[in-house]
Structure 1
Amino acid sequence: MTSLQRCTLLWGSADIHDDDPQVRVVDDCVYLPYSHGSVWGLFGSDGRPVLEAIDFREGVHIPGDQRLPGEGRIDVAAAEKHDTTYIYVGRINFHYGHFLVNTLPRFWNVAKIKTPNTKLLYHGPMSVEQIFSVPYIKTILSMLGLGPADFARFVSPTKIKHVVISKTSFEEQRAGFVKYKTLCHDIGSRILQNSDLSESVETLYFSKTRLKSAVGIITNEIEVEEYMREKGAQIVYPEELIFEDQLILMSCAKNIIASAGSFLHTSIFCPPRNIICLNVTEQINSNYTIIDRLNRNSAGYYYPTAMQVLPQQEGYLTARYLPEAKVVAEKLFEISRS
């Protein structure tokens, strides 16, 4: 008989903070531009990384590319010097999940502290024009009243007189701040205010069967999808929808069923959701739990003990096969109704 166990263990921690993240003004720092495989970030004149500017993982680990080797000296003799005050918003990451848990949380107080002439300083390989060419990023930033003219980056080492750094409101796999929920709810409310939410959807099933690349796949997920369709669930392929439509569908759904994926993070922009997740490991990545706790989602994560790990497939970091997929789908559907 197929066993489906409820996951209770977390990979990481999931603390919730009611207080505001710290804000610090850093004087006389050095901006090293982002370059894949090279050291980048904000550093003090002594070569030490500015800790408030770093996105730690599990609150402990400084990424290797944000630490200077050896004695930590920076040769910036020929660097430009800017006396302008900037607001630092970290690395802008194009990946949907990383944008939501690493990039966006830096914006929790931008509307409050930004003046019309203050630039938002960022790291990343992309130009401002490239950033705003990504539809969901453009939508989210525009909801904050931000456009291309508000952003700046440097392509060579640069001395900066003053940088305002707000610590992140989402510490990956460690903690979330209520300010992050408030930020996302405000964005969601602005998008949904002119939408018709009167027609509810009983069940949404978010499918990965059309993804060409991803962190992980279940190779026979189509069997789960077909069962959900037979039971009347509306099938959603999130990569085929614009951000606004994802938000509307998720906000209208009474029940959401999916395997773990970044698209579930979209719930932070919505009213509290009922979520049933097919988890491919026994532990829950605590980023999901942080969002569930902040948003007060009713969420259950379930692991099929018969899940099989397959050799890596092109385009995917991990691949798995789900024995008796239809039976698992039936149980997940029943749980969503209970």
Structure 2
Amino acid sequence: MNGPNHIVSIIDVNRLVSNGGPVADGLRFTTYGKSVSTGEWASGMIFETSAPQLGWAEIPPRGSVRTVPPALIQVDDALVTGKGPVVMPGGTVLVGSSLVPDAGKLQNLLKALLEAGLERHDPERIPTACLLSHPGGDVIYGHWLLDLLPKAELARDHVPEDVPFLVGKDIPEFAVGLLERIGIPRERLLRRLPRMSRFIVAEECLKVQKLYIPTSARNNLFFDPSRCGVYEHLLSQAPLRPKIRAERIFLSRSALTRNKGLKSDRKLENAAAVERVFSDMGFTVIQPEKLPFPEQIALFANAKVIAGEDGSALHNALWCKPESTMVCLSSPRRLNRLHFCVAETRRLHYRLVRGAIDQSVLDGLEQGTVSNEDAYFAPWAVDPIQLGDALAGRVFS
């Protein structure tokens, strides 16, 4: 890249692998499987608490799409930004859902890449590495489950053993533990990727002489069911006689430290009242982060119904048996289709209860004084009486 406006071309690595080429100089890939069809959930239903007429309504199945074959991409003299896009010599930028899982963020990332002034800096050089990153943050548990663990397993099996895994400087200890559980020791982690920010910082970019990039199991909002081997491996480590066993569990977030002032908090304002409703309906209220990881897996594997707020904890439904039920409580301004991925992959019954936000937020949206982003992250609530009525409808299967 010779200047701030010199992106020569863009290569979607997922499309490259799916179509079988052609490849550019300094770019190679090897496939280790075939494209398959994504799964379908057992059933989907939604309960809108703000609807004029209350009741459960069917969510039509999304149908299936073809997945990207699992593959390992090799790039010579790659410039790693840590935010997703990888730059080849000459300015060609590698993108695609294996590098930028959320397509809506691509334009902002490319803009940040142009504004970074990379041509004015001589980056730190690394002989070889396997890239294990996520632009949404590698400190988020849900991204490790859906995005990074399947990539790590693919790389573990096919990258030379002397190649380190390039991870974030702030990789959390739980993530290190997950990697160790699938056979990647902490000594193999090269903690050099930039810390999370909204910008690409030129001084923190890295030049890797030979970079390996494993393709993602997630093609934006669809998941490859053939890439579930890593979950079966972790399931095999769960105790046969767990300390806690319950058929219905509610995932409490009351013990989590809230990041006050951050938009990503998405606070459920009446969380305590919601917990009481589930408790009264016979659910066991659990704070999963307080349990050892194998106990968490066993808890979900033995549950028939799991419920909780929209967030990473619900991705633990990956451990559930087919025909189990996942109940998601969500803001009316947010529809997290990653839960769709989980429900489709494990063939679950998916139940979505959408709460309400303050009328002043809705008025502000209409008047233009509140942005869609602010409404998306606005505090929300679920009416306890309506929730009780919804749960009493026996829609768990």
Matched, 1:321 2:381: yes
Matched, 1:121 2:166: yes
RMSD of aligned Cα (Å): 3.5
Distance 1:69 1:157 in 2: 13
| Matched letter for residue 339 of structure 2 | Y
Partners of 1:90 and 1:106 within 8 A in 2: no
Partners of 2:318 and 2:346 within 8 A in 1: yes
Q: 2:252 aligns with which of 191, 207, 212?
A: 207
* Distance verdict in 2 for CA 1:318–1:184, change over 3 Å: farther
* Distance verdict in 2 for CA 1:66–1:121, change over 3 Å: farther
Matched, 1:165 2:208: no
Q: TM-score, with normalisation over the residues of structure 1? A: 0.77
Q: 2:222 aligns with which of 170, 175, 180?
A: 175
Deviation at 1:70, TM superposition (A): 6.5
Matched, 1:49 2:108: no
Distance 1:99 1:165 in 2: 16
Bigger share in strand: 1
Partners of 1:80 and 1:157 within 8 A in 2: yes
Match of 1:297 in 2: 348
Matched, 1:151 2:201: no
Distance 1:219 1:144 in 2: 38
Deviation at 1:201, TM superposition (A): 1.9
Partners of 2:165 and 2:189 within 8 A in 1: yes
Match of 2:299 in 1: 249
* Distance verdict in 2 for CA 1:195–1:116, change over 3 Å: same
Percent of residue pairs identical: 17
- Counterpart of 1:50 in 2: which secondary structure? strand
Distance 1:139 1:71 in 2: 34
Partners of 2:308 and 2:329 within 8 A in 1: yes
* Distance verdict in 2 for CA 1:150–1:65, change over 3 Å: farther
Deviation at 1:310, TM superposition (A): 7.2
- Structure 2 unaligned segments of length 5 or more: list them: 1-51, 194-203, 259-263, 362-375
Matched, 1:264 2:321: no
Deviation at 1:328, TM superposition (A): 1.4
- Counterpart of 1:24 in 2: which secondary structure? strand
- Counterpart of 1:258 in 2: which secondary structure? strand
* Distance verdict in 2 for CA 1:149–1:17, change over 3 Å: farther
Q: 2:327 aligns with which of 266, 273, 276?
A: 276
Distance 1:79 1:226 in 2: 54
Matched, 1:185 2:185: no
Matched, 1:8 2:59: yes
Q: TM-score, with normalisation over the residues of structure 2? A: 0.67
Which one is further off, 94-103 or 244-253? 94-103
- Counterpart of 1:85 in 2: which secondary structure? strand
| Matched letter for residue 78 of structure 2 | C
What per-residue deviation string (whole Å, max 9, x for no partner) do you get for residues 159-201 of structure 1?
Answer: 32211212211134x2211243222222222x21x43169852
| Matched letter for residue 218 of structure 2 | F
What per-residue deviation string (whole Å, max 9, x for no partner) do you get for residues 28-65 of structure 1?
Answer: 22234x4xxxx785311123332256224147724426
| Matched letter for residue 320 of structure 1 | W
- Counterpart of 1:109 in 2: which secondary structure? helix
Partners of 1:250 and 1:270 within 8 A in 2: yes
Paired residues, number: 313
Deviation at 1:266, TM superposition (A): 1.1
Which one is further off, 39-48 or 86-95? 39-48
The equivalences for 1:98-113 within 5 A come to 98-113=143-158
- Counterpart of 1:97 in 2: which secondary structure? helix
The equivalences for 1:16-31 within 5 A come to 16-17=65-66, 20-31=69-80
Match of 1:87 in 2: 130
| Matched letter for residue 161 of structure 1 | Q
Distance 1:9 1:215 in 2: 30
Partners of 1:27 and 1:162 within 8 A in 2: yes
Deviation at 1:141, TM superposition (A): 0.8
* Distance verdict in 2 for CA 1:6–1:215, change over 3 Å: farther
* Distance verdict in 2 for CA 1:275–1:159, change over 3 Å: closer
Deviation at 1:337, TM superposition (A): 5.1
* Distance verdict in 2 for CA 1:97–1:112, change over 3 Å: same
Q: 1:219 aligns with which of 265, 269, 284?
A: 269
Partners of 2:75 and 2:210 within 8 A in 1: yes
| Matched letter for residue 86 of structure 1 | A
| Matched letter for residue 321 of structure 1 | A
Distance 2:342 2:55 in 1: 23
Deviation at 1:229, TM superposition (A): 1.9
Distance 1:210 1:198 in 2: 20
| Matched letter for residue 288 of structure 1 | H
